[in-house]
Each structure stands twice: as C-alpha cells, then as structure tokens.
Structure 1
Amino acid sequence: PTSGWHYSRPAEWGFYDQALPDERVVHNLEHGGIWITHKNVSDSTLSQLQQLATDYPKSVVITQRSENDAPLAVASWGQLMKLQSFDRERIVEFIEQNRNRSPEPIAGE
C-alpha cells in the first residue's frame, strides 16, 4: 500500500529484520517517509538496504514483506516502484523525489 487507513502510531525509522503491519508503516508514508520492502533477497542486498537506513535515518523504514510481488518495492505516499534487483541509484532518486510529498510532510533526512 502507498496510502490509506493506518494505525495512529507510526513505526520508528530504520531497518527491521522482520515484517511490520502495513497499517503501521502507511502512517510513516503519510509523514513523508519512504518504505522499502523486500522478499527473498540476498545477504548482500540486505547489507545495502541497511546502509540506506543509515544514510536516511529519519525518513526510511525497511522491512520484509511476504506479500510483495517483486523482490524489492519502494513506496511513498501515492507512489510505488518495484525492482527485481537492488539499484541504489534508482532508490536514492526515488527517495529524493518523493520524500515529504505527502499530507503531513515531516520526514527528515
């Protein structure tokens, strides 16, 4: 999901080793954040995703998501990009173009 009904409390920004409820992270999207989800990716890709969480500590949530129909999905409020493999350049471009384009734009760097 890239918008819609959500829990009243957002997730903490950062990298998670497990899935979170969609409704929790949609609140982060409302705040202008970026949600990167993964499914069945390599350890190398997980390391690169962890680096993104470090590079964007106040605007990115990264979780597993078994419902994905692509190995990687990058979401913001109303926007979704699916990737078959990790592409840092495209992900960073998505973050920069879509962060804080939301109803409550309060995400940080």
Structure 2
Amino acid sequence: MSFGPGGPPYATPPQQPSDAARSTRNRAIAIGLSAAVVAGLAVFGTYMVLETSEAKVNRSSGSSGQDDKPSGGDSADTGGAIAGLKSWDGAELGRNHSAGDVDYPMTPPVGGDHNPSWLNCDGDVYEKAVPNVNAVHSLEHGAVWVTYSTKAADADVTKLAERVRSTPFTLMSPYADQEGAITLSAWGKQVTVDSADDRRVDQFLAQYVQGPQTPEPGAPCTGGLETVPQ
C-alpha cells in the first residue's frame, strides 16, 4: 500500500473547547440549576400557603359550626326529647262521641271521649275558655291546644297568640284550672312551661302538630265550631 507524499493520513485530533466556551457552558448550567431551584421553592411556597389557608378555613368552619349549634336554651332546637313531657297511651284513651260532659283524668285533657263537633283549630285563638269535649276532638285531628292561666304574663299570652295564629292545626284559650302558667296539649302528650320563650314551646309544636300521635291524620281543623258554645 502506498501513501502520498504527505505520509499516512492521521486522524485529526478533536478540538478541545476553549476556555471561553467552557465558561459559557458552565454559566448556562448554573443558571439552569438556579432556575430549577427557584421554581421548586416557588411551588413549595405556594403549596404551604394553600395548606395554611385551608387549615385556617377549616378552623374557622369548625368554630362557626360550634357557634351555630343551638344551646340548651335556644328555641330553634326543635328536635330531641322534651324535658318534663307527660305521656299517656293514646290507644287507651277513649274516642267515642258523647253529647254530654266527660270526666277527664288530666287537666287540661289530652284525649278521651268527646263531642261530635270539634273546635276550629286552624290557628284559632279563643278569648274565653272552651269546652273540653270540643277541644279534645280537635286534638284527635292532630291539633295542639295551647292553654294559659292567670299565672302567665300578658306579654307571654300575646306572644303565644301570635305563634298560634301563624301555625295551622293549633288553637289557644284560657284555662283557669290548670296548674302551670302555660300548657301545651296534644293527643296523649302534654308539657307545662312558665314562659313563651321556653324552647319546649317550639319543640312541642314541631313534634306534635299533626304528629305521629294523631289518631285521625288528615282530618280537618276547619269546618267545626267557630265560636265557643255557651
């Protein structure tokens, strides 16, 4: 094999980058790394801000929930057991129609035999005492009967009257012989309170107006007696 005059062809050795090129490359790498670190820190910072904000919202929501929960004296709480509630077996209370008086074992009565005519109980407020036998018939239809004695304050009587007028299947009347100031009666259920602001007033109305104790659900509270029989 022959070679040219210049001798054998040697491979050209690779050119080493210049100092300037190396410096530029290193600077670019450093800038890239710095940018990556800054971006990572920014993402981490955003995450921490969001976590902190969410924690604050959760703490705030928890406090609000506790504040919104009705206290023991808040009348807005209409669920749960009613303190001092008296109950009778509704199935054991008579339901026969009677044209005369009926001797009831409780005052005011919460059920038993009654007059064929019921008192209107569509939020009706009676200024005079009403006959037990007609009011009990209203209870059979699912009404709540609110009664008050001379022990009740005038302001409470006024407030109760407003409450009754805005509540279908209720009636209200004075009742001189009852023991407490204010009594709420439904079929087989009764509670006595001292004030119209007692939370049990709203509890009783919420649970027993057309409640599960009603012997004749769907029966009307209108079309009965509009005035107190003399």
Q: TM-score, normalised by structure 2?
A: 0.44
The amino acid that maps onto 1:6 is H
> How many angstroms does 1:76 deviate by?
0.4
Q: Is 1:69 the equivalent of 2:179? A: yes
State which structure, 1 or 2, has the greater radius of gyration over its C-alpha atoms.
Answer: 2
Select the structure that is richer in strand: 1
Runs ≥4 residues deviating over 3 A? none
Contact 2:119 2:135 in 1 (8 A): yes
Query: Shift in Å at residue 75 of structure 1?
Result: 0.4
- Aligned Cα RMSD in Å? 1.5
Partner residue in 2 for 1:103:
215
Kindly state the Cα deviation for residue 83 of structure 1 after the two structures are TM-superposed: 0.9
**Paired amino acid for 2:117:** R
Partner of 2:201: 91
Deviates more, 1:47-56 or 1:83-92: 83-92
Q: Percent identity?
A: 24
For 1:5, give the aligned amino acid.
D
Cα distance per residue 1:50-107 (max 9 Å; x no partner): 1112220x21110001110001100001000011222353212111111222110236
Q: How far apart in 2 are the matches of 1:65 and 1:87?
A: 19
* 1:63 alignment partner, SS class: strand
Q: Tell me which of 78, 87, 92 is aligned to 2:188.
A: 78
In the alignment, structure 1 segments of 5+ residues that lack a partner are none
Separation (CA, whole Å) in 2 of partners of 1:80 and 1:50:
18
Which structure would you say has the larger RCO, counting Cα contacts within 8 Å and 6 or more residues apart?
1
Which of 39, 42, 45 aligns to 2:156? It is: 45
Match of 1:54 among 147, 151, 165: 165
1:22 aligns to what?
A: 132
CA contact (8 A) 2:193 2:200 kept: no
Mark the runs of 5 or more structure 2 residues left unpaired by the alignment.
1-108, 222-230
Bigger fraction of residues in helix = 2
Could you tell me how far 1:15 is from its partner in structure 2? 0.6
- State the partner residue of 1:3: 111
Instruction: Give per-residue Cα distances to partners, 1:25-59, cap 9 Å, x unaligned.
Output: 00010000000100012221121011112220x21
The CA distance in 2 between the partners of 1:45 and 1:93, in whole Å, is 17
Q: Secondary structure at the match of 1:85?
A: coil
